[in-house]
Amino acid sequence: MTPLTRISNRMSEIRQRLGEIAALEGDDYTDEIAAENSELQRELTRLEPQLRAARLAAGDDAEPQPAAAGGAAPSELAGRIQLREYLSGALSGNGIDANSAEGELNVELGLDTDMIPLEAFASDASQGTPMRVDRPLQQRADVATTVPSDVMASQAPIGQRVFAGSILEFCGVMMPTVPRGERTYPVLTAGSAAATVAKGAAQEATAGTITSLNLAPVRGQIRYQVQLEDLAVMDLEPTLRADGRAALTEHLSDRALNGSGTAPQVQGLFAALTNPTAGSTVMNFDLLLAGATGGIDGLWASMLSQRRLLLGANTYRLATGQFKGDELAVLDYLRAQGCDVRASSLIAAPSSDNQAALGISTGGPGPKAVLPVWQGIQVIRDNTSDAASGKVNLTLNVLYNFRVLRTAAYQELTFHLA
């Protein structure tokens, strides 16, 4: 077993156990379970840089995909499926063969024959091979044999678009795969307080308050327009898979962070939090440190290692030059204390020299925010709208929603940059 496989398997086991712990309620969530939860969170944090190093060593820089709670496909089927089979079925309008590996996987996942499971986009079972056009040599009897300039032409790998990386895991967002129907997340928000009472005295009962958050799916969409001639010669599958996956990842991260909450948009983290008043002092060592420590409340964070900061690119660049004395850099100090700091292009550019940031607490039980994805990506083929010009429109739909469950675990920050 390679180091990459070993680390990936261990992180998968940890995420599975964290999901089981998150489902515990009441007396089932003991002190031992809480300690185990904290230890698993710390181990997961330690494994992240090891996983990145193992990927670099193995020459694999693919983005890790969020673990699907309760919806993973059997490994033997996930390793056999090919995206091109799903696309061929969609393009023909007949769907996939029920007796194929793709058909068996859809049956196990409860999907129709015109649906593409998420596993098809994450699978590396078929990378595809660039097509090559071979032309016969021209033979002439009375002159030297010549070779056409375009003989043996081959297609180089298609350069991919560059997207912002996912910030969901960094922000403590759980991303489960859910079945059909609305998803309900009940949260106990108030209950009886413990008290020490005299002998024979009665303790007043207090009704518990449970708030249920009902999430209905909203649609995220990607649309491709493909020329028929290109479908015949282009190495389409790996390009479509990588581009679609990256575009969806960026879109879900962006909506989880910046969604306005006005239909059809989901309510993102910044919309759910209180926007602080910007100060007039330019961000320095002490102000950035205060942003990190300000969320330590003894509940959702009891130490600096249970805090994270997500900064805009401008703020991060300014932070790299903030020192205490001549040697102690604020970013080095925070990392030494276990507080991870990251920049993201998804945070809006500065306005009036002020830029937002996000403080994240990783302590406390259960998920802090959820982004459920309704299993399956549907491909809709439209070969009639642009038939005169020989174009096929492919639309990929993904159904999701987002909600902050524990607003106390997050703080919106604002830093003055100039």
Per-residue confidence (pLDDT) for residue 71, from 0 to 100: 43
Cα dist from 366 to 18, 65, 185, 271, whole Å: 8, 20, 12, 22
Q: Please determine, for residue 320, whether its predicted confidence score (pLDDT) is greater than 80.
A: yes
Please give the distance of CA 97 from its chain centroid, rounded to a whole number.
31
Q: From CA 381, how far away is CA 395, in angstroms rounded?
A: 7
Confidence category of residue 8, pLDDT binned at 50, 70, 90: confident
pLDDT at 3: 78
Taking the C-alpha atoms of residue 169 and residue 360, their distance in angstroms, rounded to an integer, is 11
pLDDT tens by residue, 198-257: 998 988 888 888 888 899 999 998 888 888 888 777 767 667 767 877 788 889 999 999
The residue among 278, 347, 291 whose CA lies nearest residue 319 is 291
Distance CA 80, CA 103 (A): 11
22 part of a folded domain: no
**Residue 328, H or E segment:** strand 328-329
Q: What is the pLDDT of residue 27?
A: 74
Q: CA–CA separation, 75 vs 8, rounded Å?
A: 14
Listed range (58-72, 166-180, 253-267) with the worst mean pLDDT: 58-72
- pLDDT, tens digit, 9 for 90 and up, residues 74-98: 546 676 788 778 777 776 666 777 7
CA–CA dist 68, 177 (Å, integer): 5
Q: Report if residue 139 sits inside a domain.
A: no
- DSSP 8-state class, residue 360: E
Mean pLDDT rounded to a whole number for the chain: 81
Maximum average pLDDT range among 39-48, 225-234, 274-283: 274-283
Of the pLDDT bands very low, low, confident and very high (cuts 50, 70, 90), residue 335 is very high
For 26: left if phi > 0, alpha if psi spans -120 to 50, otherwise beta; the answer is left
- Quote the pLDDT of residue 64: 42
What pTM does this model have? 0.62
Res. 259 pLDDT band, cuts 50 70 90: very high
Q: Answer for the pair 103, 89: CB distance below 8 angstroms, yes or no.
A: no
Q: Which residues neighbour 70 within 8 Å (Cβ) at sequence distance 6 or greater? A: 19, 176, 177
403-404 and 369-370 strand pairing: antiparallel
Q: Can you name the residues that pair with 297 across neighbouring β-strands? A: none
The more confidently predicted of residues 182 and 246 is 182
Percent of the chain topping pLDDT 90: 35
Which residue type, as a one-letter code, is found at position 126?
S
Domain assignment present for residue 109? The answer is no
In a domain, 100, yes or no: no
- CATH number, position 292: 3.30.2400.10
Q: Among 370, 120, 99, 418, which Cα is nearest to 242's?
A: 120
Q: Which burial class, exposed, middle or buried, applies to 338 when counting CB atoms under 10 A from its CB (0-12, 13-18, 19+)? A: middle
pLDDT at residue 238, rounded to an integer: 63
Q: Is 134 exposed, middle or buried (0-12, 13-18, 19+ CB in 10 A)?
A: exposed
Q: What's the pLDDT at 160?
A: 62
At 144 the pLDDT is 53
Q: Give residue 384's Cα distance to chain centre.
A: 35
Tell me whether residue 124 is in a domain. no
Q: What angle do CA 385, 388, 391 make, to 5 degrees?
A: 65
pLDDT at 123 over 50: no
Of 122, 10, 3, 123, the C-alpha closest to 56 is 3
- With left for phi above 0 and alpha for psi between -120 and 50, is residue 399 left, alpha or beta? beta
Rounded average pLDDT over 153-180:
77
Q: Is the pLDDT at 62 greater than 70, yes or no?
A: no
List CB contacts of 234: < 8 A, sequence separation 6 or more. Answer: 131, 155, 158
Strands (E) in 137-240, as ranges, are: 153-154, 173-174, 177-178, 183-190, 209-215, 218-227
Mean pLDDT is lowest, of 132-146, 198-212, 284-298, for 132-146
* 263 vs 253: CA distance, rounded Å: 18
Indicate the range of 65-69, 181-185, 188-192 predicted with least confidence: 65-69
Total of domains in the chain: 1
Q: Identify whether 345 is part of a domain.
A: yes
Among 100-114, 152-166, 334-348, 380-394, top mean pLDDT goes to 334-348
Q: Is residue 24 part of a domain?
A: no
Nearest alpha carbon to residue 363 among 311, 413, 288, 298: 298
Give the range of the structural domain holding residue 300, as residue numbers without chain letter.
170-191+209-417
Q: Is residue 266 part of a domain?
A: yes
Look at 15-19, 25-29, 251-255, 401-405 and tell me which has the smallest mean pLDDT: 25-29
* Cis peptide preceding 276, ω within 30 of 0: no
Report whether pLDDT(400) > 80. Answer: yes
Q: What is the pLDDT of residue 155?
A: 60
DSSP state string for 333-348:
HHHHTT-EEEEETTSP
For residue 275, the model assigns a pLDDT of 87
